[in-house]
Amino acid sequence: MAAPAALSVAKLTVTGFRCYDKARLDLDSRPVVLVGPNGAGKTNLLEAVSLLAPGRGLRRARIAEIDRCGGTGGWGVAATVRTPEGTAEIGTGREPGGERRVVRIDGETARSQTDLARYVSAVWLTPDMDRLFREGAHARRRFLDRLVYGFDPAHAGRVAAYEQSLRERARLLKLGRADDAWLSALEEVMVERGTAITAARQDMVGRLSQALAGSGGPFPGVRVAVTGTLEDWLGEMPAGRASRRASPPACRPARWRTGSARCPPCGPRIGSGRHCARGAATTPIAAPPASVRTAATWRRDTLRRICRRSCVRRGSRKRC
């Protein structure tokens, strides 16, 4: 991955956005400092800029929450962006009554917001982001992925494809539809995209490690690493061999363990992994019958057995 070149916003226009009915900024390529009293809308402008990149923006708000209070509904952010390849006109927002975020690039409607990664990459640090160090790994992985976008715009599409396959796989397992061909196809996508995601993260961590090693000063040194099963495999063997090792046949034995719908054994960690049921990792369960009705009964009884074991270990008398 080549180092990203500099980019800048030449013009920013917001409409029906947070506290703004309409506002426009004409800028040059120099750094910008926003100054004003609390509640003036400084952070709102920063959020508008963050929405020019893939993702949910600075505040990770739902699109309906961004509407101006008392407005007619809907909002828009438009910008003229200077990129190494030239000037690009980018617009995004929610149409009145719409439920999805619309993205337009140079007047053409984009297929998805991941197309923004080809033009804009943005990373931000705010006081609220101290939870990167206090909470689970999910926020740290998401922050690392945003760093990768600046070097590899296609990474956004791979992450989106992996998450979509993960959600579809979870839905099938929740409904008890043990269609091996369907699940195998989804898991094949997860393995392919997951291996690429993990390799890109490791490359980014390597770049960070080199930068940290070259920094001096009185502070202690810092070591950055990404840990996980697939990460360990990529450190021990070529990517192709690691991908085959995590292929769908390796995923099948754990499909029907409790919690495996949200914690697949194949692919990288995207979420925090807190959705796993208690006792799932230490309680191997045989695969249920193919019947949907029987599978639902099997899952209910299995959850009760695991709950009872957990209650016994804790010495609780609570009825499961």
Bridge-partner residues for 83, per DSSP? Answer: 86
Predicted local distance difference test score (pLDDT) of residue 257 = 52
* Residue among 101, 104, 80, 93 at smallest CA distance from 16: 93
Cα–Cα distance, 288 to 302 (Å, whole number)? 10
Predicted local distance difference test score (pLDDT) of residue 275 = 32
Predicted local distance difference test score (pLDDT) of residue 49 = 96
Predicted local distance difference test score (pLDDT) of residue 256 = 52
Task: Write down all domains in the chain, each with its CATH number in brackets.
Answer: 8-122 (3.40.50.300), 129-272 (no CATH)
Q: What is the pLDDT of residues 175-205, one digit of tens each?
A: 876 677 888 888 888 999 999 999 999 999 9
Q: What one-character DSSP code corresponds to residue 280?
A: G
Cα–Cα distance, 80 to 83 (Å, whole number)? 10
Predicted local distance difference test score (pLDDT) of residue 132 = 79
b or e along 109-127 (b: 16 or more beta carbons within 10 Å of the residue's beta carbon)? ebeebbbbbbbbbbeeeee
Predicted local distance difference test score (pLDDT) of residue 171 = 86
DSSP string for 65-80: GGBPTTSSS-EEEEEE
Q: Where are the alpha helices (DSSP H) in the chain?
A: 42-50, 131-134, 137-149, 154-175, 180-213, 229-236, 239-245, 248-251, 292-314
Predicted local distance difference test score (pLDDT) of residue 176 = 76
**pLDDT values of the chain reduced to their tens digit, one per residue, 320 residues:** 554 557 899 999 999 999 999 999 999 989 999 999 999 999 999 999 999 999 889 998 999 999 998 888 899 999 999 998 899 999 999 999 888 999 999 999 999 898 999 999 888 888 877 777 777 788 888 889 999 998 898 999 999 999 999 988 888 888 876 677 888 888 888 999 999 999 999 999 999 888 888 777 777 777 888 888 888 888 888 888 888 887 766 555 556 553 444 445 555 665 433 333 333 333 333 333 444 344 455 555 655 655 555 555 445 544 44
For residues 191 and 247, is the Cβ–Cβ distance under 8 A?
A: yes
Place of tokens 């699109």: 63
Cα–Cα distance, 18 to 46 (Å, whole number)? 12
Predicted local distance difference test score (pLDDT) of residue 181 = 82
Q: How many CA atoms lie within 13 A of 149 on its CB side?
A: 25
